[in-house]
Amino acid sequence: MATTTATTRATTELLERLREQIVALDQTGVEQTTLEALAAGASAQEIISGGLGPGMEAVGKRFEEGDFFVPELLLSARAMQSALDLLRPHLERSADTSPGTIVLGTVQGDVHEIGKNIVAIVLAADGFDVHDLGEDVPPQEFLDKANELGADVVGMSALISLAVSKMAETVAMLRESDFKGRVIVGGAALTRESAEQIGADAFAADAWEALGNVRSLIQEVAS
Ligand code: B1M
């Protein structure tokens, strides 16, 4: 019991340090602390949700307040991405057969890729066949890839408010086509309500909720 409490305290301190190092734009520190947190028994999910993600939130706040500018956003993103590269092997593929095919991307007009990359890693780790189209993806490209692969689910990410209209356009285009699958959306520009308004089948606040929702959507498609 005492050991568990000590481990939890150590993890909490490491996650706090990670948040600070992201805001300090300290890539080397972020990498070292990520490795230390893994060694202390923290899961990749805890490290992302409790350390790296909140660090990026704080960076966004500094940007809003005029303390940070685009170069700082880029440096924080680079630090986060290198931590994700270290975490990737810890989110191991757990199935030999694919439960379904997902086409994923950040919508046109938006170049934010980190959240979408986490969703891709988490889905792929669960065995899904993930086709990541990258960022700034036009509606037609989502549609073409989904039809080419007979995708079960199309997943779209948007972080800037201006890109939500492109997401709505993509959903409408998929609905008007022969696409028979489901659509899930996420990213800081969306809420559950706005996701519903644009006609998505599901919204997820983070990559782990996305995984649960994608599993349910695939069951719907299959039944
Ligand atoms: Co920009 N940016 N940015 N940025 N950036 C935000 C998004 C912003 C909120 C900052 C702020 O003002 N507070 C703001 C948007 C405001 C708005 O429109 N509402 C903003 C802005 C304004 C801009 C520019 C316009 C700045 C400029 O040029 N003047 C510009 C836009 C460029 C463009 O896209 N056309 C810009 C550029 C950039 C960089 C390129 C420098 C860089 C991104 C680098 C990269 O991705 N390679 C960047 C960054 C780093 C940020 C912040 C600080 C961090 C984003 C991030 O990576 N978060 C961001 C502030 C913030 O979000 N609070 C900000 C961490 C990531 C793990 O979270 O992506 O939300 P997130 O993903 C989460 C969930 O949302 C969810 O799961 C993830 C966690 O598990 N999720 C999904 C995401 N996608 C999902 C899909 C799903 C399901 C769940 O299903 C398919």
What is the domain-level CATH number for residue 27? 1.10.1240.10
Cα(174) to centroid(ligand 1), Å:
25
The residue whose CA has the least distance to atom 71 of ligand 1 is: 115
- From 61, 90, 119, the end of a domain falls on 90
Q: Give me the CATH number covering residue 115.
A: 3.40.50.280
Residues 182 and 111 in one domain: yes
- From 90, 116, 148, the end of a domain falls on 90
| 33 closest CA partner among 83, 88, 89 | 83
Please tell me the distance from the alpha carbon of residue 22 to that of residue 29, in angstroms, as a whole number. Answer: 9
Residues 81 and 105 in one domain: no
The answer to whether residue 102 scores a pLDDT higher than 50 is yes
- From 90, 122, 142, the end of a domain falls on 90
The residue whose CA has the least distance to atom 27 of ligand 1 is: 70
Residues 6+ apart with CB under 8 A from 88: 121
In a domain, 200, yes or no: yes
The one-character DSSP state at 144 is H
Please tell me the distance from the alpha carbon of residue 198 to that of residue 107, in angstroms, as a whole number. Answer: 14
Residues 125 and 217 in one domain: yes
In a domain, 37, yes or no: yes
Pocket of ligand 1 (CB under 6 A): 53, 56-57, 59-60, 63-64, 70, 73-74, 76-77, 109-116, 118-119, 155-157, 159-161, 184-189, 204, 206-207, 210
Q: In what order do the strands lie in the sheet with 129-132?
A: 129-132, 101-106, 153-157, 182-186, 202-204
Cα(9) to centroid(ligand 1), Å:
30
Residues 123 and 175 in one domain: yes
In a domain, 42, yes or no: yes
Residues 37 and 80 in one domain: yes
Cα(223) to centroid(ligand 1), Å:
36
SS3 43: coil
What's the structural domain count of the chain?
Answer: 2
SS3 200: coil
| 205 closest CA partner among 192, 214, 222 | 192
Instruction: Report the pLDDT value the prediction gives residue 4, as an integer from 0 to 100.
Output: 60
pLDDT tens readout for residues 134-158 = 999 999 999 999 999 999 999 999 9
Residues 108 and 56 in one domain: no
Residues 143 and 197 in one domain: yes
- Residue whose CB lies within 8 A of the most ligand 1 atoms, among 159, 164, 182, 198, for a mutation test: 159
**Alpha-carbon distance values, 184 to 9, 205, 212, 214 (Å):** 36, 11, 11, 8
pTM: 0.94
SS3 176: helix
Question: Tokens representing 36?
Answer: 């230390």
Domain holding 19, by residue range, is 2-90
The residue whose CA has the least distance to atom 53 of ligand 1 is: 60
Residues 108 and 212 in one domain: yes
Within the chain, strands assigned E span: 101-106, 129-132, 153-157, 182-186, 202-204
In a domain, 96, yes or no: no
Tell me the residue length of the chain.
Answer: 223
Atom nearest to 118 CA in ligand 1: 80
pLDDT tens readout for residues 10-40 = 899 999 999 999 999 999 999 999 999 999 9
In a domain, 95, yes or no: no
pLDDT tens readout for residues 166-191 = 999 999 999 999 999 999 999 999 99
